[in-house]
């Protein structure tokens, strides 16, 4: 029997939405208040979903302590009470909710092997969240320059 287990975590961090591919004026227009130079902060809620067979010995998909340790190591420790624009791995990228969700998913997928990391959902505020599960899709037309 295959179950999907979701665990919720939280961390607080600051960031600034600013793209080096845009002019200062464009950055201000596109990102508005989020472009303010000193940054601003959020209380993020992170949901990590793993999937797998329920183990007969434990009744569980995986050991929650191991999952917690992996999420702490890969996401919470590097991000909690940090300025996300300073993360080396995201250099040159805008630390939007989408980019952060993808980054956390990729890190967890490579380091946590006890069950399949299926999805990451990152909530920036009660109004906004992004989900990423590594899906790729073909699009009819590719945008130029990508």
Contacts with another protein by CB under 8 A lie at: 1-9, 49, 54, 57-61, 63-65
- Whether 18 sits among the annotated catalytic residues: the reply is no
Task: Report the C-alpha gap between 47 and 66 in whole angstroms.
Answer: 15
Q: Which CB sits closer to another protein, 35 or 132?
A: 132
Annotation says 34 is catalytic: yes
Per annotation, catalytic residue among 4, 40, 81, 110 = 81
By beta-carbon proximity to another protein, the closer residue of 2 and 139 is: 2
- Residue 17 Cβ vs another protein, minimum distance, rounded to whole Å: 28
Please confirm, yes or no, whether 124 is among the known catalytic residues. yes
Closest-CA residue to 104 (of 81, 74, 133, 129)? 74
Tell me which of 15, 62, 74, 124 is the catalytic residue: 124
Rounded to whole angstroms, how far apart are CA atoms 7 and 49? 7
Shortest Å distance, C-beta 4 to another protein: 4
By beta-carbon proximity to another protein, the closer residue of 65 and 145 is 65
Spatial distance between the Cα atoms of 6 and 96, rounded to a whole number of angstroms? 22
Contact (Cβ atoms closer than 8 angstroms) between residue 82 and residue 12: no
Contact 80, 12 (CB under 8 A): yes
Q: Which residues are catalytic?
A: 34, 81, 124
């Amino acid at each position: 029997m295959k179950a999907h287990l979701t665990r919720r975590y939280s961390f607080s961090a600051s960031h600034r939405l600013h793209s080096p591919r845009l002019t200062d004026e464009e950055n201000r227009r596109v990102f508005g208040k989020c472009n303010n130079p000193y940054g601003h902060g959020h209380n993020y809620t992170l949901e990590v979903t793993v999937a797998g067979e329920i183990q007969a010995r434990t009744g569980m998909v995986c050991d929650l302590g191991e999952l917690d340790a992996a999420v702490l190591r890969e996401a919470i420790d590097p991000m909690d009470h940090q300025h996300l624009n300073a993360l080396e791995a995201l250099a040159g990228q805008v630390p939007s909710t989408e980019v952060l969700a993808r980054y956390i998913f990729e890190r967890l997928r490579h380091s946590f092997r006890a069950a399949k990391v299926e999805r990451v959902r990152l909530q920036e505020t009660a109004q906004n969240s992004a989900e990423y599960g590594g899906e790729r899709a073909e699009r009819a037309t590719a945008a130029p320059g990508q």
